A = this chain, B = another copy of it.
Amino acid sequence: MARLVMKFGGTSVANIERIRNVARHVKREVDAGHEVAVVVSAMSGKTNELVAWCREAAPLHDAREYDAVVASGELVTAGLLAITLQEMGVQARSWQGWQIPILTSDAHGSARIESIDGSDIVRRFTERSEVAVIAGFQGMHKPTGRVTTLGRGGSDTSAVAVAAAIKADRCDIYTDVDGVYTTDPRVVPKARRLDRVSFEEMLEMASLGAKVLQVRSVEVAMVHKVPTYVRSSFDDPADPRPGTLICDEEDIVEQQVVTGIAFSKDEAQITLRGVADRPGVAAAIFMPLAEANINVDMIIQVVSDDRATTDLTFTVPVAEFEKAKKIIEGLRGVTYTELAGTTDVVKISAIGVGMRSHAGVAAKAFKALAEKGINIRAITTSEIKFSVLIDSDFTELAVRTLHTLYGLDHAA
């Protein structure tokens, strides 16, 4: 007997027929003797509808009221799945965030889970053999008693956090893909599904553009060491494939140097040419951006021959591009000859814990990309990944090149 958390996203619960399919997956685990908590998202499209109504009511709206509105979608699916499970003869009840309770910060719209009291759920596993069906994506801020939401994709985080709270043996994230791939199979048909990937690698992949899991859910899984599977809800409930296990590095026997290639088009490049180089000029530029909550990622500084001026290139999220340019145009005390920028760039990243012990991994990539005539605009590296910023026209070519270079193509 094991204790499991199973999480199902919006496309998996889009209508009653699909909710029945989800119930069959749950029943399989219950019939196998496991204790099961299920976390569900809203039916696909419902959250968007609720968000659109909030925007129509007021473009800038109270985040507390937004949370009260959009958290309602998950209540519906939790109740409907409980009804469907009961109809199949499985003991079940739904739980709203405040009922458990799942307590969060008061950062409405992107609240952080602070604590989960799993005692009632666990007690009912024992006393009633009852499946807990939990509304994902939400919690409650205790001092105000108000409903909070965890941000888009927050149900993944709900699931992993519940798994940690009830000391589950594993957390299964059911989704519309059958696991984590070495890269996006739509870009590289030779992409392989990974059997295992380490928490650290998954965290980098999610942060660097892979959309299969919310970044925060991976953080929580890593901190609490929750073995987490990514698997398909569209598999036959009687005979599903295992998917990809996200686990501790030491549980992965055959470690690759590079595990996956991620890419993100959510990058905009800003270049300041001929900046008068004096002490503190970088702070004068980057402090105001930080104060405006603009996340600056890659930074390159090229000093001119006469050492009097410098060219400064950096990236910001696409959504912050215009705002960042305005802030720079308004700076006092910083002189430059030209402000240029573009959103036609892509950040391509290679991720692998093997980089820690292998030198020259990134250098091979620079050479391979240069041979294809791809110009690298910026580079960042960390212990287990490196990223390059290139023209977005070369996205597919660059991803395929690195995928082949690091031996990730499948055999067929």
A225 to chain B, nearest CB (A): 31
Distance of A408 from chain B, by nearest CB (Å): 43
Q: Interface size bucket, A side?
A: 35 or more
- Check A393 for interface membership: any CB of B closer than 8 A: no
Q: Does A84 contact B (CB under 8 A)?
A: yes
Taking a contact as CB atoms under 8 Å apart, the answer to whether B69 and A76 are in contact is yes
Q: Is the CB of A66 within 8 A of B84?
A: no
Chain A residues 142 to 169 lying within 8 A of chain B, measured CB to CB, are: 145-147
A83 to B70, CA, bound (A): 13
Distance in angstroms from A177 CB to nearest chain B CB is: 26
Partner among B50, B65, B84 whose Cβ is within 8 Å of the Cβ of A82: B65
| Interface presence of A4 (CB below 8 A) | no
User: Are B56 and A16 closer than 8 Å at their CB atoms?
Assistant: yes
Q: Give the docked Cα–Cα distance between A87 and B56 (Å).
A: 11
Q: How far is the CB of A103 from chain B (nearest CB, A)?
A: 15
Q: Do B84 and A75 have beta carbons less than 8 Å apart? A: no
Cβ-defined contact, B57 with A68, below 8 A = no
B62 touches A68 (CB 8 A): no
Find chain B residues with CB under 8 A from A56 CB: 16
Q: Which residue of B has the minimal Cβ distance to A140?
A: B99
Report B-chain residues with C-beta under 8 Å of the C-beta of A93. Answer: 64-65
CB neighbours (8 Å) of A71 from chain B are 75
Q: Mark A52-91, 1 if CB is under 8 A from B, else 0.
A: 0110111001101110110111011011101110110000
Q: In the complex where A58-B87, A76-B53, A86-B62 touch, is A99 in contact with B146 (Cβ < 8 A)?
A: yes
Partner of A62, one of B16, B72, B82, B145: B82
CB contact under 8 A between A86 and B61, given known A80-B69, A145-B99: yes
Instruction: Check A83–B57 contact: CB distance below 8 A.
Output: yes
Residues of chain B contacted by A82 (CB below 8 angstroms): 62, 65, 68
- CB contact under 8 A between A84 and B72, given known A64-B93, A79-B65, A93-B65: no
Q: How far is the CA of A80 from the CA of B61 in the complex (A)?
A: 9
Distance between Cα atoms of A69 and B78 in the complex (Å): 8
Residue among A64, A79, A82 with the most chain B CB within 10 A? A79
Q: Which of A21-76 contact B (CB under 8 A)?
A: 50, 53-54, 56-58, 61-62, 64-66, 68-69, 71-73, 75-76
Bound-state CA distance A68–B69 (Å) is: 15
Q: Does A406 contact B (CB under 8 A)?
A: no
Residues of chain B with a CB closer than 8 A to A80's CB: 53-54, 57, 65, 69
Contact B98 A83 (CB under 8 A): no
Residues of B contacting A315 in the complex (Cβ-Cβ under 8 angstroms): none
Given contacts A66-B79, A82-B62, contact A19 B72 (CB under 8 A): no
- Contact A50 to B69, CB < 8 A, known contacts A61-B83, A62-B82, A83-B58: no
Question: Within the complex, what minimum Cβ distance (angstroms) separates A378 from chain B?
Answer: 41
Q: Chain B residues near A20: list those with CB within 8 A.
A: 57
Q: Are B83 and A76 in contact (CB under 8 A)?
A: no
Are the CB atoms of A76 and B87 closer together than 8 Å?
A: no
Q: A54-B83, A62-B82, A68-B96 are in contact. List 10 more A-B contacts (CB 8 A).
A: A16-B53, A16-B57, A53-B80, A58-B83, A58-B87, A61-B83, A65-B80, A66-B79, A72-B72, A98-B98
List 18 A-B residue pairs with CB atoms under 8 Å apart, sorted by A's residue number.
Answer: A19-B57, A50-B76, A53-B76, A53-B80, A54-B79, A54-B80, A57-B83, A57-B84, A58-B83, A58-B84, A64-B93, A65-B83, A65-B93, A66-B79, A68-B96, A72-B73, A72-B76, A75-B75
